Structure 1
């Protein structure tokens, strides 16, 4: 993650913590107010108030900032099709899989066709049988 995405995420987390604290304080004040009003001889008890709009807006903005910071700090998406991804590895090599700090990403494995290219070809049983028969006759 770059410093911009980290700072955006951090600021969003700070705003979210402040919104949570404000919501907690609001509910504590409302419960204290309801307790003090219930001791008075009035007919209006049990009235509830919703969360103030500024706390709601702060919560939504903080959540959006956190999402923006996390999304901006992610690496590029890889192709879904394996053959496209393997072609990208063959064309670009390690240079195509370096992150923002210049290090090769941990999911880079090199040429995925390396195993297929290094395996032996098909075995010709008839040729081996003929060579073995000639070897036996030669002894």
Structure 2
């Protein structure tokens, strides 16, 4: 995470903590004022008033959640390609430099050349070439000399 995303996330968390504290204070204030009104002799009829959260606390909560989400999105690393051939092409073009994070370290899932297995395997057998070499060997008498030795 960069310092910008960390600071935006921290600011959003600060706003969210303030909104939670304001909601707690509002509910505590409302419960004590309702209890004092119902206990007085002048108000014998208990009225059930539904008190909702004030609009400024609701807006502050929404802005805080949006700010935290924005800070977290700003801090995410760049997404990798979904298609394997695109990802492998990026590795071949850029090498380790394309997979370094913000701190300058190579990502842990960097494996190097993805075609390493394909490039290290033996090639296909060329039957025509082997037939030609065998025919030349027979013409030179390679098979007969071997039989006379044994």
Q: Which runs of 5+ in 2 are unaligned?
A: 135-142
CA deviation profile, 1:69-119 (whole Å, cap 9, x unmatched): 111111111111111111111111111112222221222211111112212
The size of the alignment, in residue pairs, is: 132
Max radius of gyration: which structure?
2
| Distance in structure 1 (CA, Å) of the matches to 2:31 and 2:123 | 80
TM-score of the superposed pair, with normalisation by structure 1: 0.82
Cross-structure match for 2:120: 118
Q: Aligned Cα RMSD in Å?
A: 2.3
Write the mapping of 1:1-139 to structure 2, written as runs, cut at 5 A.
Answer: 1-40=1-40, 41-43=43-45, 45-122=47-124
CA separation in 2, counterparts of 1:38 and 1:57?
A: 31
* TM-score (normalizing by structure 2): 0.77
Tell me, yes or no, if the aligned pair for 1:34 and 1:45 is still in contact at 8 Å: no
SS of the residue corresponding to residue 103 of structure 1 reads coil
